[in-house]
Amino acid sequence: MTEVAAAADVLQCLFVDNQLLAEGPLYQHGWLYWVDIKGLALHRLQLATAEHQQRHVPEQITSISPRQKGGFVVTTRTGFGFIDDFSAPLHSLGTVEPALPDNRFNDAKVDPLGNLWAGTMDDLEKTPSGSLYRLTPEHQWQVFDTGYIVTNGPTFAPDGRRLYHNDSVHKQIFVFDLDASGISNKRVFAQLGVDHGHPDGMTVDAQGCLWVCEYAGWGISRFDPDGKFMAKLALPVANVTSCTFGGDQLETLYITTAAKGLTAAELAGQPLAGSIFAAAVGVQGIQGAVFLG
C-alpha cells in the first residue's frame, strides 16, 4: 500500500449526521458504538440491519471501552466511570482534576494488561494542562505524562510493548515503552508536517502499522512501525477524529468525524462532516483489550 488518493472504491458512509464531535468508535458483537462529545450523546449502530440507537447523556462522555464484568468503562468530562449497558445510568468514580475546571478527558483505550489509558486536555485548547493517566483494574489512577494542550489517540503495538500517544496541537506522535509498571522512554515517533492535519484518534493493524486520523487533514495516514509515512486514506470531510478495526475478520476500518467549528460555507462543501464511515482497507486489525476492573 503506497497511496490511497481517492477512497470512493473502499469508503462507505454508514450514518449521515452533522455530529459536532463524533469520537471513540468501538466495534462489539456486530454493533458499532461511538460518542458525540459536544452533542452529549451515546450512539450505536447495528451493522447488519442499520438500526441506529441514540441516548442523551447528562455529562460529556468522551470515550467508551469494553469491561470484563460487562458493560463499559468510560471517561467523562471530569473522570472515569462505568455504564452497565447501553441504556444504563453512569456510575462515576469521582473527579480526577478538581483544580482544573477548564480541563476535560478526551481519548482513551485499554492496554493488553487490562488498564485504561486516558488523556485530559484544556477544553479551551490554549493551556498545556493536559495529562496522560492510567486507570488500573483496582480503580486507582495515576499521571504518567503531562504538558499537553490536547491529548489524543492512545493505542498499543500488537505485542503490547509500546504505547502511542498524540500531542495534537504540536502535531507530534510519541511512543513509549510499556510494561506492567507503566510507560517509559518517551520519544517522537513521527512529526506531522504541513501536508498533514493534526493527529487525533488512532489504531494499529496486525502488521504493527499505525493508522492516524487527521483533524483538519481530510483523511487517515498510515505509518510503518518505524514511523515512516506509507499512505493516506482520503475522506470527503476535513475533521477526521478516530478509527477502529471491526467486523468478523477485523478488516473494516470504522471512522468517526466532526462538524464542530465549520462555517456554513465549509459545511456546504462537506455535507457529510460529522458522519460515520467504513473503509475496506485490505489489512487486518487486532482485537482490542478489555478493562479488567
Helix/strand number for the chain, H first, E second? 1, 24
First-to-final CA distance of the chain: 39
Sort strands 162-167 and 151-156 into parallel, antiparallel or unpaired: antiparallel
Rg (CA), the chain: 17
Under 8 Å between Cβ of 249 and 284: yes
> Under 8 Å CB-to-CB from 166, ≥6 apart: which residues?
151, 152, 153, 172, 173, 174, 199, 200, 202, 212
| Cα distance between residue 55 and residue 133, in whole Å | 27
Cell numbers standing for residue 62: 468522551
At 242, give phi and psi (nearest 5°). -165, 165
What does residue 225 show for φ and ψ, rounded to 5 degrees? Answer: -65, -15
Which residues face 64 on adjacent strands?
Answer: 74
Helix (H, G, I), strand (E, B) or coil at 265: helix
| Alpha-carbon gap, residue 181 to 197, rounded angstroms | 33
Q: Which amino acid is at 157?
A: A
Contact of 234 with 4, CB cutoff 8 Å: yes
One of 9, 200, 205, 248 is an active-site residue; which one? 200
Q: Is 179 a catalytic residue?
A: no
The strand order across the sheet containing 61-66 reads: 61-66, 72-76, 79-83, 90-95
Q: Which residues are catalytic?
A: 200
